[in-house]
Structure 1
Amino acid sequence: MAVRFLQKASVWLKKHKITVVAVSCMGLLGTNLSYHVFPEQTFKLLHECWSQGQPAELSESLCGVFQDVLRDVGVESTDSYRAFAASGFHPVSAGIPWLPSGCLVGIPPNFDSTAQDKKGIVNHVVVINGRQVDWESSEGRALKEALTFSPEAQKFAIAREVVYLRSGSPLASAAVAPACLAGTFMCGSALKLLLGLSRGPAVLRGLCNLVTAMGGLLCFCVSSDAVTHHLDCRADRRAARLSQDYARGGLEFYDKILSRNRIFRGLMGKEGMKIYAPSGNLFPRHWFRIKYTPYTYRRSLIVNILRELQA
């Protein structure tokens, strides 16, 4: 029974393989874009900051900073970009500007803190390894300092998210998987045609399909990481080139992220050593992939841009 079903499925797939691949590519693209197309219903629910059982409100000062950034970046339709209070320690974003749902930029509570007033940090509970961080301890004071950003650093961090969305980066990132799937299918078909395996033994065809699939997976891993690296660096570069203040803010932003990660590495013990490198970068989760653009590299990029602007 099972053998007969597999034979029928194989015949059906051969007959409709182009349709199956096309539908699969569209499904992958739709899945990858889902939280950019519906950011209010997906992305915001995941990242929204809550306070006393209610969604936290963004302060007037941060709303003003957000509008200043939109003006500096040159956004004409400011209604397409909306800010909300997000959990975490640095801004996050999602959306496509020209869609009706627009874009959302999440700004974390620590951006409400200044060198004189740390309310945006100390009013929130941070638990690491099951223990609440004591803000008056040496590690707590160091973490407070690493989480406190100047207005310039805040503007840079928000600007890079706006630039990232404005330049169509979500679409480019989402297109990698379907492009690799379509490319794998075409390469597999061409390879079998060149080797004369289209009507050859099933074992050889299966081996060819396996090799092609492994090549496609490798291509996806390399392409995905390369596109992520390019899009991150492009957003950093464009945000830093807005002015010297933005470039200086970018340098401070990445300096403090590296400092924060080094503190987390110490507070988290063995688990922290697995996640964070001594430099403050994130360790790759897989030995053959680098999903995150190293913060040290991004910092070096900002340093070079600042030197150019000062020259």
Structure 2
Amino acid sequence: MSFHRFGSWLLKESGKKFMYGVAAATSVTIGCLHIVPNTFLLDKYKDVVHLYKNGFTVPVPRPLLERFNKAIDLLEIKEQDRKQFKPFMVFGFDIFSAGTFFSHYGVIIGLPDNFTYIDSDYIDKTKIQLLESSIPWESDEGILLLKSLAMSDIGQIYAIAREVHMRQSPKYFIDFLSSVSLFILAYGAGTHCNARYNLYAKPRFVRIVLYGMLGLFAYLNYIFVKDASQLYYERKTDEYLINKSPVFKEGGKEFYENILNRNRALRTLMGKLGEHNYSPMGNENYFIRQRHLPLVQRKAFFEDVHTSQDLM
């Protein structure tokens, strides 16, 4: 009964004003979900993903810091802009980044612990577990995984440069603007349809269906814009880096080869979960969406450049 009265109140002028306020608050909230973690709470975000040892954050080792600075040097970033990029040790075996170059809060670049591995023979295998279980390092997949964790300097330099350059792109603003504008568009379309076709006089179910369709339309368009812009800027980043320095050309090829080998090993070692996450070739599996360029395609891009140069 109370729900029925609330629904009837929403059809009144005061209820419509209330929903307008809710829509405005929702649009602000959506915007904040993009802005806050990458600006005001960037340091808190870093604390969550930081690598810890015995309760303390692990500092970036000097050799790894030198490789980070080498990547910045090769990108020819201006001296006054270098302070925008702050390296730290991140949990896990994937490089990480957050923030935007266009904010005074800057960008954080998370460097995985395996970037400190000199050679696969020097890796402390007892500290590495998979799904809280030990890894059969003597198996073919275990050997492949161990080999993939150790990466040369140029592979690491490419990975760092890739994250730095991506954070210099307008991708952050595209995600922010598309999410807010599509929500506002969906709300405006719903309000227009209600007024034009007098849907307030129709059963509540009609409006619920309309709102659901508009919401689904806005969400699908948002993920399309988000994924399409991600693929575009990943492609542009590789094109930029491959023409910027021979180090990036060699490093990109090695980096993706290591990641593909790691994923192929994990596909077997993780069982059903591995088959769900990775393809037999080592690509990341996605359901419907394509969040990133296929790793095989990115590796082939660097190999094709090498082949073209050899033929010349």
Q: TM-score, normalised by structure 2?
A: 0.86
CA apart distance, 1:62: 0.8
Contact 2:141–2:266, Cα closer than 8 Å, also in 1: no
List gaps (5 residues or longer) in structure 1: none
Whether 1:68 and 2:70 are equivalent positions in the alignment is yes
In 2 relative to 1, CA 241–118 (structure 1 residues): closer, same or farther, beyond 3 Å?
farther
Could you say which residue in structure 2 is the equivalent of 1:90? 94
1:41 is paired with a residue of what secondary structure? helix
Q: Distance in 1 between matches of 2:309 and 2:176?
A: 33
- Contact 2:52/2:58, CA 8 A, preserved across alignment: yes
Contiguous gaps of at least 5 residues in structure 2: none
Is the Cα contact below 8 Å between 2:87 and 2:110 reproduced in 1?
A: yes
Tell me, in whole angstroms, the C-alpha distance in 2 between the residues paired with 1:15 and 1:82: 45
Provide the secondary structure at the position in 2 that maps to 1:166.
coil
- Which residue of structure 1 lines up, in the alignment, with residue 3 of structure 2? 2
Is the partner of 1:6 in helix, strand or coil? helix
Q: Is residue 86–residue 106 contact of structure 1 (8 Å, CA) maintained in 2?
A: yes
2:223 partner amino acid: C
Query: Relative to structure 2, which stretch is displaced further, 18-27 or 240-249?
Result: 18-27
Matches within 5 A, 1:27-42: 27-38=29-40, 40-42=42-44
The Cα of 1:263 is off from its aligned counterpart by 0.1
Structure 1 residues 74 and 25: alpha-carbon distance in aligned structure 2, compared to 1, 3 A threshold:
farther
Superposition deviation, residue 13 in structure 1:
4.8
Give the letter for the 1:23 counterpart: A
In 1: Cα distance, 2:246 partner to 2:265 partner: 29
Change (3 A) 1:308 1:25: farther
Shift of 1:278: 0.6
Which residue in the other structure is 1:113 paired with? 117
The aligned counterpart of 2:291 is: 291
User: How many Å separate the matches in 2 of 1:202 and 1:93?
Assistant: 48
| Structure 1 match to 2:280 | 278
TM-score by length of 1: 0.86
3-state secondary structure, aligned to 2:244: coil
Q: Residue 267 of structure 1 aligns with which residue?
A: 269
Which residue of structure 1 aligns with residue 103 of structure 2? 99
Q: Could you give the per-residue CA deviations for residues 137-176 of structure 1, whole angstroms, max 9, x where no partner exists?
A: 5433321211121211111100010001122322323333
The residue type equivalent to 1:209 in the other structure is: Y
Q: Distance in 2 between matches of 1:107 and 1:240?
A: 21
Q: Deviations over 1:52-71 (max 9, x none)?
A: 33211211111111111112
Query: Aligned pair in 2 of structure 1 residues 96, 214: CA closer, same or farther (>3 Å)?
Result: closer
C-alpha contact (below 8 Å) 2:10/2:19 kept by paired residues: no
The structure-2 alpha-carbon separation of the partners of 1:182 and 1:305, relative to structure 1 and needing over 3 Å to count, comes to farther
**Structure 1 position 93, deviation (Å):** 0.7
Identity of aligned residues (%): 23
The CA RMSD measured in Å over matched residues stands at 2.7
Task: Measure, in 2, the Cα distance between the counterparts of 1:56 and 1:123.
Answer: 19
**Structure 2 counterpart of 1:216:** 218
Question: Separation in 1 of the partners of 2:293 and 2:242?
Answer: 17
Q: Does 2:35 align with 1:25?
A: no
> Structure 1 pair 74/139, CA: closer, same or farther in 2 (3 Å)?
same
Amino acid of the structure 2 residue aligned with 1:261: N
- Report the 3-state secondary structure (helix = DSSP H, G, I; strand = E; otherwise coil) of the residue aligned with 1:94: strand
CA distance in 2, matches of 1:17, 1:245: 56
Q: Match for residue 130 of structure 2?
A: 128
Q: Is the 8 A contact 1:143 1:260 kept in 2?
A: yes
Give, as a single letter, the amino acid of the residue that structure 1 aligns with 2:95: P
Report the equivalent of 2:83.
Answer: 79
The alpha-carbon distance between structure 1 residues 207 and 2, as it changes in their structure 2 partners (threshold 3 A), is closer
The 8 Å contact of residues 39 and 104 in structure 1, kept in 2 or not, is answered as no
Q: Secondary structure at the match of 1:131?
A: coil
CA deviation vs aligned residue, 1:226-262 (integer Å, no higher than 9, x gap): 2332233333332333223202211111111111000
* Counterpart-to-counterpart distance in 1, 2:245 and 2:309: 8
Distance 1:27 1:124, change over 3 A: farther
1:88 Cα deviation from its structure 2 partner: 1.6
| Contact residue 192 and residue 208 of structure 1 kept, 8 A | no
8 A contact 1:84–1:105 mirrored in 2 = yes
